[in-house]
Amino acid sequence: MTLASWITLFRIVSLPLILFFLNQYQKSDEISQPDEKLRAGSLIFFLVAAFSDCIDGYLARNCGQKSKLGAILDPIADKLLLFVMLFSLATINASKIAKIPLWLPLLIASRDLFLLFGFLFLKALHKEMEVQPHWTGKLATFTSFSLVGFSLLGIAKLTNISVYLCALFLILSSIVYSIRAIKILLSQHHSVSPTAKKDNLL
């Protein structure tokens, strides 16, 4: 297993630790004795996990660290970290954490499932399909990471702004990917040879 894959695996393993800090912080807040070290701990470990996404991506692209395992683990790690953190911050009751509306993690889950089923459907019909991210999807991920950070810091205004920016980019990226999927279907329908051309979905 490559170093990049180990770093990706660390991102998954760090999630229970972040949740432990959050849970203990909520308990301390419930008795009106909030332990800010616990909130700081959850923020620090989240930032390390988020930064690790940049590191393993750099290693994979520039240091010959690409692997099939890493290609599978990396998106799983990102989506798992973001969804669990956003869902936790939407349901937590702590006075100094800026709460996130529950509809946002549900929107993210719905969008990811929609894209997954669409990808699997097209993959079954079009074996030469390539997966390429769009800038709207990248911005959705970036604003999601930023949103978690602002929420843990308790910055309500930036949290609220990030919520709607994240939702906007999620919707825009879904539209972009849907248009690409339709183009793939149309190109395959009109193509004489279905393997004559590669199409891009994401």
* Distance between CA atoms of residues 183 and 196, nearest Å: 15
199 pLDDT higher than 50: no
- What is the rounded distance in angstroms from the CA atom of residue 104 to the CA atom of residue 100? 8
What Rg, from alpha-carbon coordinates, does the chain have? 19
Compute the average pLDDT of residues 130-141.
Answer: 84
Cα 183 from Cα 108, distance rounded (Å): 24
Give the residue extent of every domain in the chain.
1-77, 98-202
- Residue 63 neighbours by CB under 8 Å, 6+ apart: 4
Tell me what the pLDDT averaged over the chain comes to.
Answer: 87
Higher confidence at residue 128 or residue 20?
20
Q: Give the separation between CA 199 and CA 26, rounded to whole angstroms.
A: 48
* Tokens 């991210």 sit on residue: 133
Least confident of 58-62, 69-73, 128-132, 181-185: 128-132
At residue 102, φ and ψ (nearest 5 deg) are: -65, -25
At 95 the three-state DSSP class reads coil
How far apart CA 186 and CA 122 sit, in angstroms, is 12
Please give the pLDDT value at position 88.
96
Give the per-residue pLDDT at 1: 80
Neighbour tally for 189: CB within 10 Å: 9
**Residue recorded with tokens 């956003």:** 86
Residue 190, pLDDT above cutoff 80: no
Grade residue 64 by pLDDT with cuts at 50, 70 and 90: confident
Q: Distances in Å between the alpha carbon of 181 and those of 110, 129, 138?
A: 17, 10, 18
Pair 133, 74: CB distance under 8 Å: no
In this prediction, residues 36-61 reach a mean pLDDT of 91
Q: In a 10 Å sphere around its CB, with 0-12 CB exposed, 13-18 middle and 19+ buried, how is residue 171 labelled?
A: middle
- Tokens 């702004």, residue located: 161
Tens of pLDDT, residue by residue over 5-28, are 899 999 999 999 999 999 999 999
pLDDT at residue 195, rounded to an integer = 47
CA dist., res. 171 & res. 137, Å (int): 9
Segment 67-125, tens digit of pLDDT: 888 888 888 999 999 999 999 999 999 989 999 999 999 999 999 999 888 888 887 87
